[in-house]
Chains A and B, each alone.
Chain A
Amino acid sequence: MGIFTEKTSTLSRRKFFKLLGGIGMTGAAASISGCTTEAVGGKGWIPGQYQVPGNWPVKVKGRIPIDPQNPSIVRDDQKCILCGQCLDVCEKVQTVYGYYDLPIKKDITCVHCGQCALWCPTASIKERDDIQSVLRVLDDSNMHVIIQTAPATRVSLGEEFGLPPGSIVEGQQVAALKKLGFDSVFDTNFSADITILEEAAELLNRLEQSNILPQFTSCCPGWVKFCEYYYPDLLSHLSSVKSPQQILGALAKTYYSERVGIAPENIVSVAVMPCTAKKFECQRPEMNSAGRIIGNPRIRDVDFILTTRELASLMKLRKIDLNGLDNEAYDQLMGESSGAGVIFGATGGVMEAAVRSLYFLVSKQRPPEQLLELNAVRGLDGVKEAEVIIPGKGSLKVAVCHGLKNARMILEKVRAGNSPWSFIEFMGCAGGCIGGGGQPRTSLASADEVRRARMASLYNLDGRVYRKRASFENQKVQNLYKEYLGHPGSELAETLLHTHYIDRAKDLTIRKK
């Protein structure tokens, strides 16, 4: 027995060579059978079959430039297949790329609409990820985290959880956000109603003094930056009212902060948006009106934006299934909304909402039924026109467009001075916010069926679900004006709800036609 153990424990020279031979044979067999980290087809200098490397895409067109510092979108080179979809949407739908001369200046022209992220078939382009930042503040017990949800996310979030396009998940979305640990959940519809009241008042003002018409809407940050780049001479037409997101953010750190008695420094304001440009908007230097009032300009009105897609990832990260949640209601102070607020998410919605309020502002009466169903400005036509009769003001010609290529057509007319319109709604993305760059991806980037389904749900909410259909009927908004702001156009309202714009023409050389 002793001899036997001794024999096995010593490694004879013969055994050693056998071992080495075995390893060598295994290695040779593995490399012959293809167990290698090298890609199929060999290195570039070894011609592959048909002298074309195996993973070379059939059609390559290049891609758009993206600044590594871009606040809204980022690109993962490893996923890019150079298919050129981003170029196509940026140049042909949004008319941004290719509309400036080279060389570029110290700015890579981008309106942050995020359509490229929506069109990118490999998700190489996506929004700049704020999930980790939001998780960090959610885990911080010193921080009071509030969140607002845009009109358009309640009809698209369901798609990320297997529901058909257009499923209305308003209540489940609120429940999910509460479950994620947000201290208060507010509705951007609430501030959309404020936007409308202010914007209608501004329009009325312009109509009465008949200066600088038409008025342009200003709630789409992609469109606003587009105007700042390419049509800075028309910036005076832009309504000075902030977008609903920024209004709610500013109110959260002033009005809400006072009501609940939490210092604005300890409030973190998050927004769920269908949009990547909102990430840029909340970082605009002037968007700190609450901070300026308090005397701490470093405080931002809105701290983080989550796109619809990011919210879905966040929920999945925390193992929350939207389908298994019961409906919950928005928090009271800034949670009520009217139908006018919710249709902000669809192209034509802002116009329709504004007309309802304008009618009321002028006549002090509830708008008639045909103004509540203003079908001329609904739908997916690129440019829509309507004529509405406002008692005492006569007929008012309005126009609605979505997609920045359509905006150019209208803007050229305005620039030439032959526009018949008094009020024009612009939306950067096709279909409005429901087709925004932060929305769930669809199998086909330009799927109009999906857009129609989402829009139909918004109008459904407006017509059938919400009891109030016009912004001035919003009780909470009335309270806000009564208790805090005074009246539309007051000094405090001016500071918190209005903004100014920057001429960005110096950042690029606009291509002459």
Chain B
Amino acid sequence: MTKGILVDIPKCIGCGSCTVACKLWNQVDFDDRYPSSGKEAVLSDKNWTIIVSCEVIDKESRPAWRFIKQQCLHCQQPACVSACFSKALQKNSDGAVVYYPHLCVGCRYCMVACPFDIPRYEWDKTFPLVTKCQMCSIRISQGEAPVCVMVCPTGAIEFDERDSLLKKAQAKMNKDSNYIRGIYGEKEVGGTGWLYISDIAFDQLGFKTNLGSDSLPIYSHNYLKYIPGIAVIWGMVLTVLYYYSKRKKELLTKNQELEDSSDNKQEKEVIREKSFETSKDKHN
């Protein structure tokens, strides 16, 4: 059921339609400081997706342009979701990692957790939120493709079931020897919803290739999984300690009271005697 998107990097001509479509659909403003396509394109709170122009050396060892689409990769096991304690980031069953602003407390753990450095924060706002690509989750839920896919004039971006996209990508690589072997996103950090195939090595195009194939939540899960057990045992220990100290305290107070009551008797007798004497004096 998990949906995915396949980017065929050699087919991208860098027109930037996807970046404009993203802004139009999601109603995000333009920001002159941060271009959304070109050499200086950067992700920002207003650029959920960008097209970065990359000058590379192609197979014929001539300089060539390649254009890299950057956005949230919608990991299969997203680190941001596992880092978010307020459930503001959730993974849908259709594959989209969606941000729910009304649940967000603004801690920005997701930004630290993301291995691809994707989420951005609205630093300019009084009440900022985190922003990132939502994979047009509303459209996906209605059976439509995300807008960037829909608008791409060359068909460089494809939307489908992730499994069939993997097969398609394999078929493309088998058919055309210009592609380098390997699909970026197939295994990276446990697999991502967005997949890339390219004719140029991924590290030359600015992809992070050293992320490993383990999903990031696994790392913390290895020790965090003991926490419930530890919590129960710790609770039990504390309960025992509580009852132990409670009983000890009760015993102590009981003894005290016993001692106190015997002291009081003696005191009362003395007072009675004294009062008896004074009354006698009065009579006299």
Q: Which residue numbers of A lie inside 8 Å of B, CB to CB?
A: 38-39, 41-45, 47, 51, 53-57, 60-66, 68, 77-78, 80-82, 84, 87, 102-108
Contact = CB atoms under 8 A, between A and B. Distances in A.
A110 to B, nearest CB: 11
B16 interface: yes
Given A53-B26, A62-B15, A105-B64, 7 more contacts: A44-B28, A53-B25, A60-B24, A63-B153, A65-B13, A65-B15, A80-B20
Interface stretch (B70-78, B97-105, B238-246, B254-262): B97-105
Interface of B: 9-17, 19-21, 24-28, 30, 36-39, 55, 58, 62-66, 98-101, 134, 137-138, 142, 147, 150-154, 156, 199
A47 B141 CA distance: 12
Contact of A55 (B27, B38, B99): B27
B24 A105 contact: no
Contact of B55 (A60, A66, A77, A106): A106
23 contacts: A39-B27, A43-B101, A44-B25, A44-B26, A45-B26, A45-B100, A47-B138, A53-B25, A57-B24, A60-B147, A60-B150, A63-B16, A65-B13, A65-B15, A65-B16, A82-B20, A84-B153, A102-B10, A103-B11, A103-B64, A103-B199, A105-B58, A105-B62
B13 A104 contact: yes
Contacts of A60: 21, 24, 147, 150-151
B11 A102 contact: yes
Contacts of B156: 102
Most chain-B CB neighbours within 10 Å: which of A38, A57, A82?
A82
Contacts of B20: 63, 77, 80, 82
Q: Specify the main secondary structure of chain B where it touches its partner.
A: mixed
B15 A63 contact: yes
Contacts of A103: 9-11, 58, 64, 66, 199
B24 A81 contact: yes
Most chain-B CB neighbours within 10 Å: which of A45, A60, A64?
A45
B154 A102 contact: yes
Contacts of A47: 138
A107 B14 CA distance: 11
B27 A44 contact: yes
Nearest to B24: A56
A64 to B, nearest CB: 6
A43 B138 contact: no
Contacts of A78: 30
A63 B12 CA distance: 12
Nearest to A66: B15
A106 B65 contact: yes
A108 B17 CA distance: 15
Contact of A51 (B101, B134, B142): B142
What are the 6 A-B residue pairs with the smallest beta carbon separation, nearest first? A44-B26, A62-B153, A103-B10, A62-B17, A65-B15, A39-B27
A86 to B, nearest CB: 9
Contacts of B100: 45
A504 to B, nearest CB: 14
Contacts of B36: 77
A334 B117 CA distance: 63
A82 B21 contact: yes
B26 A43 contact: yes
Contacts of A80: 20
Contacts of B147: 56, 60
A55 B152 contact: no
B65 A105 contact: yes
B151 A82 contact: yes
Contacts of B25: 44, 53, 56
Contacts of A81: 24
A47 B136 CA distance: 11
Contacts of B150: 60
Contacts of A63: 15-17, 20, 153
A68 B51 CA distance: 13
B153 to A, nearest CB: 3
Contacts of A45: 26, 98-101, 134, 137
Given A43-B101, A106-B65, A87 B13 contact: no
Contacts of A106: 55, 62-65
A495 B168 CA distance: 57
Contacts of A38: 27
B131 to A, nearest CB: 9
A80 B15 CA distance: 12
A108 B152 CA distance: 17
B90 to A, nearest CB: 12
Contacts of B134: 44-45
A56 to B, nearest CB: 6
A78 B98 CA distance: 26
Contacts of A77: 16, 19-20, 30, 36-37
A367 to B, nearest CB: 49
A35 to B, nearest CB: 15
A24 to B, nearest CB: 14
Contacts of B28: 43-44
A105 B150 CA distance: 25
A68 B38 contact: yes
A80 B37 CA distance: 14
A82 B24 contact: yes
Contacts of A65: 13-16
Most chain-A CB neighbours within 10 Å: which of B134, B138, B156?
B138
A41 B27 CA distance: 8
A296 to B, nearest CB: 31
Nearest to A51: B138
B74 to A, nearest CB: 14
Nearest to B134: A45
A61 B150 CA distance: 8
A81 B24 CA distance: 8
Nearest to A64: B15
